[in-house]
Amino acid sequence: MPIRIPFPSLIVLVGPSGSGKTTWAEANFKAGQVVSSDALRAAVGTGQHDQKASADAFAVLESIVDMRLARELVTVIDTLGLNADDRLRWRQKATDAGVPAIAIAFDTDQKTCKDRNKRRSRSIPPKVLDSQITRYAETRPALEDEGFAAVYTADDVTPVALPSWSADQVSPTRRLRFGLQVSNYEWGDVSTPDTLAAIARRAEAAGFESLWLMDHFRQIPQVGPAWNDMLEAYTTLAWLAGVTDTIKLGALVTGLTYRNVGLLAKIISTLDVLSDGRAICGIGAGWFKQEHEAFGYVYPPDRERLDLLEDALQALPILWGAGAKSFEGKVVSIPEALAYPRPVQEHIPILVGGSGEKRTLKLVAQYADACNLMGGPDDVRHKLAVLDAHCEAVGRDRTEIEVTHLSPTFVYSTRPELEAEAKAMGMDVDVLLGPFSGGTVTDNVTRFTGLSEAGVDLAIVAIANLHRPGSLETFGEVIEAFSI
């Protein structure tokens, strides 16, 4: 039967050699979550059977357990678990870290343990195994009274992570998908390629559907100083296509004033080909005047930039289509729209950033596949009412348009974790969160439930504490809550 294991928790495996502890742990947990004494003997000695390396191996084990619990990560201790002092020490570590300690008992019969031992390339002496079996028989009845939060028998359970959000407080009623925006590359003295690749892969594993970058050449004032690192969006998206497998890739959003529309069509179709159909085209009229001036780009008046947006919305599908059609718009002229290879997707979705009510949302109603909004649920409802009116005016079903939402957020597993980080930074919690939303997993579930009910289909988040170990995995609990 499935059991709900609190996330995070400390899980202590108890059983003699050959009882199946390692096999069970590998089947139910990620490799990084399991701390194995045998594996550590191999790391610090000549192999997993090097008993002379045991002291060093267990010293490393204790350090790993301490560090993982300090980060409130699920930790599975794969040892014999037969020493009462060890179990007491691990329970105390869990208590100090504020996480539950759970024991998993392996009631495997003696014959099976002995048969498995004989089949090993390096078996342990029979007398040693007999001693372990005897000790387990003495230990097993005591486990229930030792103070573990729960004691389970391995053969009877399949562990399922228990989300830290409370269904008693909020229970989402509408499915919501999530995307991740990476907007800040200030990660300290680490490898930018390695760090970015790890973020992308972890986001994919955590359940994010899409990964978005900003299309800027220097950092924007809302995020940091201009001299902070800023990678060029489409070079980076193409590179990310090679280090990921399923996550969709796009710029939120591409400034149309930075590139010829024909070149942009070629760039995005190339991304689609190289990612095997994972490109999304996010475009907008552009807004960052200082960036234009700094790099020598012309910054047209509002009307001209919106004319460019309207032309691009019409021209891009033509450029991605078959043949070599021409296009003449208000400001864009393309004599021969020939672009091969064609995209893998029959239709690359086009998302428009911006929510101007008179013209931008009207253009969304006329041409786009998705809009991108900001603000709270009331703001979303208002903008969608405007979009509804534009769709009705042009005879389009508004449900054909995906509603996306962009917001920065913090995410923590628990309130104490949030308060501890605020304290470490010398701030009140409210000051730490500041313009950001979210907080704990439950806070985020509550917030995104409101946005979902307002009509949002895809929530794109810029996680402000993305640098914190486990942040993406913690937000994965929010994603899980909306997988209904």
CATH of the domain at 448: 3.20.20.30
**387 and 309 share a domain?**
yes
List, run by run, the mean pLDDT of 10-residue segments along the chain (484 residues). Answer: 65 94 86 89 86 90 91 87 95 87 93 92 90 95 90 77 55 88 90 94 95 95 91 97 97 96 96 98 95 94 96 96 91 90 96 95 98 93 97 96 94 82 77 71 88 96 85 91 84
Res 106: pLDDT: 95
Same domain, 181 and 158: no
Strands 333-337 and 370-373: unpaired
Check residue 170 and give its pLDDT: 64
Burial class (CB in 10 A: 0-12, 13-18, 19+), 431: exposed
The answer as to whether 369 is a domain residue is yes
Q: Among 115, 137, 162, where does a domain finish?
A: 162
Q: What is the pTM of this model?
A: 0.68
Domain residues for 71? 2-162
Residue 354 sits in the same domain as residue 250: yes
How far apart are the C-alpha atoms of 73 and 473, rounded to whole Å? 10
Spatial separation of the C-alpha atoms in residues 16 and 28, rounded to whole Å: 19
Residue 45 maps to which CATH number?
3.40.50.300
Integer Cα distance of 67 and 73 in angstroms:
9
Boundary-marking domain end, from 131, 162, 193: 162
Question: Rg of the chain over CA atoms, in angstroms?
Answer: 28
Partnered with residue 410 across adjacent β-strands are 438
The per-residue pLDDT for 428 is 75
- Residue 169 in any domain: the answer is no
Number of domains in the chain: 2
Same domain, 151 and 212: no
pLDDT of residue 361: 97
What pLDDT, on the 0 to 100 scale, is given for residue 275? 98
Which of the listed residues 112, 129, 162 is the one where a domain comes to its end?
A: 162
pLDDT at 122: 84
- Asked if residue 338 and residue 231 are part of one domain, the reply reads yes
Residue 14 lies in a domain: yes
142 and 49 in a common domain? yes
Is residue 220 included in any domain, yes or no? yes
Looking at the structure, tell me whether residues 419 and 298 fall in a common domain: yes
For residues 349 and 277, state if they share a domain. Answer: yes
Residue whose C-alpha is closest to residue 174's, from 461, 475, 452, 459: 452
14 lies in the same domain as 108:
yes
What backbone torsions phi and psi does residue 421 show, to the nearest 5 degrees? -70, -40
Gap between the Cα atoms of 231 and 185, Å rounded: 8
> What sign results for the dihedral spanned by CA atoms 373, 378, 379, 385?
positive
